[in-house]
């Protein structure tokens, strides 16, 4: 069994995803954006990227890992 990917070097490589930004985000573009890839090796994971650099890398989290991270905040 191969390990799940942990990141995507160029987030625009994630095709057919809709990036979402928090409704509490300001117009200053100082947030993270999330997306749920539905196909490819990242399917079922949560992708997170910096809204200031939409073509930059994205980190990939399992739904359980992301829920635990947010709960710890």
The model carries a pTM of 0.82
Res. 4 pLDDT band, cuts 50 70 90? low
Work out the average pLDDT over 28-54: 87
Res. 2 pLDDT band, cuts 50 70 90? low
Domain presence at residue 39: yes
Instruction: Give me the pLDDT at residue 1, please.
Output: 41
State how far the Cα of 13 lies from the Cα of 68, in Å rounded to an integer.
Answer: 26
Domain presence at residue 37: yes
Q: Which domain holds residue 56?
A: 7-72
Domain presence at residue 21: yes
Domain presence at residue 17: yes
Instruction: Give me the pLDDT at residue 28, please.
Output: 67
Work out the average pLDDT over 22-44: 82
Domain presence at residue 27: yes
Domain presence at residue 2: no
């Amino acid at each position: 069994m191969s390990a799940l990917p942990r990141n995507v070097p160029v987030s625009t490589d994630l095709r057919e995803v809709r990036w979402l930004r928090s409704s509490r985000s300001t117009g200053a573009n100082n947030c993270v954006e999330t997306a749920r890839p539905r196909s490819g090796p990242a399917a079922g994971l949560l992708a997170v990227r910096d809204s200031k650099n939409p073509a930059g890398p994205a980190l990939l989290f399992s739904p359980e890992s992301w829920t635990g991270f947010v709960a710890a905040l």
